[in-house]
Homo-oligomer: A and B are copies of this chain.
Amino acid sequence: MTLQETQSFRTWPDPSVVEDLSKVRARNPLVHCVTNLVVTNFTANVLLAVGASPAMVVAIEEVEQFAPVADAVLVNVGTVTSFDAKAMLGAAAAADQAGTPWVLDPVAVGALAFRTGIVEELLEHHPTIIRGNASEILALAGEASGSKGADSTADSSEAIDGARHLARRTGAVVAVTGVVDFVTDGEDVIGIPGSHELLTKVTGSGCALGAVLAAFLGIEDSALRAAVSGSAVFAIAGERAALDSRGPGSLAVALIDNLYLVGGKGDNTQARAL
């Protein structure tokens, strides 16, 4: 199967994307994040900007109470320690049992044995979406790849087959992040273009996308649709932000501004198109 055969592009403003974004803003889904210490602030600001309500609840004593009342959960192993791992597994298990949809972000899986074991345990709790870069998805799919710390050494399109296999094996929708994002449920593969290379210079942009996917899972039952809508909103905001920016510092700021502005009253692009 070639790339051309499988992908259908959903760009902004696709009506389903606009509808889902409106739902996020109307319902403010509560997103319970157990994420890494590099990106907590950025992730929370991205979630607020898109219209969700972030809650970074990380105590082992609290995650089991909180995950069931949240609209969605995000687990990101970027800086996982043995202490954090207990909270992540508790949150994932509680979400699974309560029927709260949850996103797994397996940062640098495959590159380090300790976190690879934790990710394998997390997979037993049935993530609704798995989001990663090409190296991470290939590692989870059992296909050897390389990674450089948290950075992928493969192109997202190289991971499409691996993503489909992983989706079939786990039952999760798999989102591969790259220059073009790909989302698959094991059958359909949907490509979302529009991101910008400079975003790879903003730490946690992929992690923040994982949180946005959780926000959209909080308002949409179809994980495939939630992943596509969340990715499309993030991509267009990223693309617009890159046009405004001198470098990665101003890009991070503009990304949050554009996530807040996209599809809103002042969004002429949308006004013209709909």
Contacts and interface: CB of A to CB of B under 8 A. Distances in A.
Interface stretch (A41-49, A170-178, A213-221, A222-230): A41-49
A28 B148 contact: yes
A257 B261 contact: no
B112 A66 contact: yes
Contacts of A49: 201, 247-249
Number of copies: 3
Interface string A185-204: 00000000000000011111
A82 B39 CA distance: 22
A246 interface: yes
Nearest to A113: B65
A114 B248 contact: no
Contacts of A83: 81, 83
Interface string A245-272: 1111110111111111100000000000
A60 interface: yes
A269 B258 CA distance: 31
Contacts of A203: 41, 44-45, 48, 54
A139 interface: no
Given A249-B253, A253-B249, A82 B61 contact: yes
Interface in A17-58: 28, 30, 32, 36-42, 44-45, 48-49, 53-58
A58 B36 CA distance: 11
Contacts of A258: 247
B256 A247 contact: yes
A124 interface: no
Interface string A51-90: 0011111111110011000100000001111110001000
A30 B48 CA distance: 31
Q: Residue among A40, A59, A78 with the most chain B CB within 10 A?
A: A59
A143 interface: no
A59 B260 contact: no
